[in-house]
Amino acid sequence: MELQSLFALAWPVLLKGTGYTLMFAIVSMLLGLPLAGLVTLIRVLRVWGLDRLTAVYVSAMRGTPLLVQVFIVYYGLPSIGIELSPITAGILTLTLNVAAYMSETLRGAIVAIAQGQWLAGTSLGLTRSQTLRYIVAPQALRAAVPSLSNSLISLIKDTSLVSVIAVTELMLATKELISTTFQPFPLYMAAAGIYWVLSLSFEQLQRWMEKRLAYPN
């Protein structure tokens, strides 16, 4: 099959798969960010009982392969009476995974803020939570933007793993095309190119956010 004919056949399928990939990445990030913020607050403010529970959650998410987590959510939960559709299972798994990584990014950024900033809040009569909200968190967010953007870029690539539960995102769409056209090299290269373009797009978004959050000269 000529390349022109191959890509004329493949592009509609690849674009549909790309749409699913973007949907998984964006929805998981939008759900994961507030969860990461909550986990970070619990750990930074040392909420009794919950801080240890969230520490175990973060350790488990970071210490086990994402593929195993996908299998547990989609194939394991039905054994205890919880059945999820492939899309729901994929979004839930990606959300829990990315939230764990982002919470560590946020916590690290907060910890990196000089202790004097906390003391300044205390001297102004602010509580620890108020100091975190008004003084420390805005500074930490600026420092965390590059790492948070990296999490989003990694998330885009990690969406390929939900293909194992029959979600027709970009990777599974590519595999299905290969099974009918027997042209693995150009199709895998096309998929790689799409992932690259998506990553470059979010890198540009990262630079824009960094400029918006930068301190004025």
CB 165 within 8 A of CB 67: no
**What is the rounded distance in angstroms from the CA atom of residue 61 to the CA atom of residue 63?**
6
Provide the pLDDT for residue 195. Answer: 93
Q: What is the pLDDT of residues 193-213, one digit of tens each?
A: 999 999 898 888 878 877 776
Q: What is the pLDDT of residues 61-110, one digit of tens each?
A: 999 999 999 999 999 999 999 999 999 999 999 999 999 999 999 988 88
Residue 185: Cβ-neighbour burial (10 angstroms; 0-12, 13-18, 19+): exposed
Overall average pLDDT of the 9-18 stretch: 90
Give 158-178 pLDDT, tens digit per residue.
999 898 888 878 998 999 999
Q: What is the CATH number of domain 3-213?
A: 1.10.3720.10
- Look up the pTM and report it: 0.86
When comparing pLDDT for 72 and 146, which is higher? 72
Following DSSP, what letter does each residue of 32-90 receive, concatenated? HHHHHHHHHHHHHTT-TTHHHHHHHHHHHHHHS-HHHHHHIIIIIGGGGT----HHHHH
Q: Is the pLDDT of residue 117 over 80?
A: no
Is the pLDDT assigned to residue 149 strictly greater than 70? Answer: yes
Sign of the dihedral through C-alpha 82, 80, 30, 199: negative
pLDDT, averaged across the chain: 87
CA 81 to chain centre: 27
Identify the band that residue 188 occupies on the pLDDT scale cut at 50, 70 and 90. very high
In sequence order, the 6+-apart residues with CB closer than 8 A to the CB of 38 are: none
Q: Pick from 124, 145, 144: which is nearest to 135 by CA?
A: 124
- Nearest-10 Cα torsion for 169, 12, 186, 164: 20
